[in-house]
Amino acid sequence: MFDPAAGSDTALLFTEQVLVLATIIGSVAALPGFIEFISERHKRRERIDLSLEDEPVELLHPRLAGMDELLRSVEDLVDRARFPEAYVDLKIGNEILIIGPSQSGKKSLAQTLAKASGMERLVTVYNPRDSDALAKAKSLVDGYKRHKVMLMLPRIDLVFTQSDPEVLTELDALIESTSEKQNVLVVATAVSFEPDSDLDNLFGIKLALPGAQVIGQNRREIPEEQQPEIREMMASVVRYYLAAAQKRGFCLEGMNESEFCALVLAEAMNPAEVEDIVVLCETAALFRRRTSQTDQLVITREILASAIGRVVIG
């Protein structure tokens, strides 16, 4: 006699067996994809390890010859990085671009700056074109909240000639977000440099070594009918930042306000360059008072010329 309960149990058992078999078959089918995922993840980690290095600055032994004068000329920048609290009122990012030929000592100069400015860690992204390495670098730098860190980006010029817009956006975000931190100094190196380019606009401070390859000139053609309006706008910008500096106690020496404005306007191409020039003038003047070279916050022609040379290349 047919037992309905037994038939139901048999059907349930058969269904379970089918499900187990299907699961096994599905797992086997998905196995190649899973193995590929694990393999790609391993390769990604290896790529990041090859592209990124995090090391203590105290273990660095840079060899730098023939740059004593250059090092003396950036003593104010070193002091600002070493004692950021003394320059907290000066609004400029802590980013420096070193431009020079291959094998000219750019890396050694960056390491020397790291040691001189009291950095504790050096995070180097050897391949700034790798978005994973950029993300890992940001994570490392953000983690050093109580340590002074230099983020170094060698051959950053290659990023702007070979990378896609997404990587450029990530790189820009990395530099902007880290250079605003008082405990971080961002230093990048480049072999070639084009004035008024995206790379130029990303870095407020540039140091050009002898033989630096500068492509083009820092001038854009401005339609003649727009020139008076643009000149007046730029003049207003210079007067604004100069007035702000004077309110903070800075004063001019060896030139008047009109001469200061004329010298800046002869070189600066946009308001950002004007601001960087004025802030670098303030940095140098403050450094000289801090080191007892003067007893006032004085901006001289020499200081202004040095500031312009750091901002405007070409």
The highest-level CATH class for domain 51-214 is: alpha beta
Q: How many whole angstroms separate alpha carbon 2 and alpha carbon 110?
A: 89
pLDDT tens by residue, 59-77: 988 887 778 888 888 999 9
Q: Where does 224-311 sit in CATH, by number? A: 1.10.8.60
pLDDT tens by residue, 121-179: 999 999 888 888 888 999 999 999 899 999 999 999 988 887 678 888 888 889 988 88
Residue intervals of the chain classified under CATH 3.40.50.300 are 51-214
pLDDT tens by residue, 246-281: 999 999 999 999 999 999 999 998 899 999 999 999
Residue 19 has pLDDT above 70, yes or no: no
Residue 218 pLDDT level (bands cut at 50, 70, 90): low
Residue intervals of the chain classified under CATH 1.10.8.60 are 224-311
Q: DSSP H helical segments within the chain, as ranges?
A: 4-51, 68-73, 75-82, 106-116, 131-143, 157-162, 165-179, 198-202, 227-247, 257-265, 271-290, 301-311
Kindly give the pairing relationship between strand 251-252 and strand 298-299: parallel
C-beta pairs of 82-90 under 8 Å, 24+ apart in sequence = 82/116, 82/117, 82/118, 84/182, 84/183, 85/182, 86/286, 86/290, 87/283, 87/286, 88/182, 89/248, 90/279, 90/282, 90/283, 90/286
Of these ranges, 4-13, 26-35, 84-93, 102-111, the one predicted with the greatest mean pLDDT is 102-111
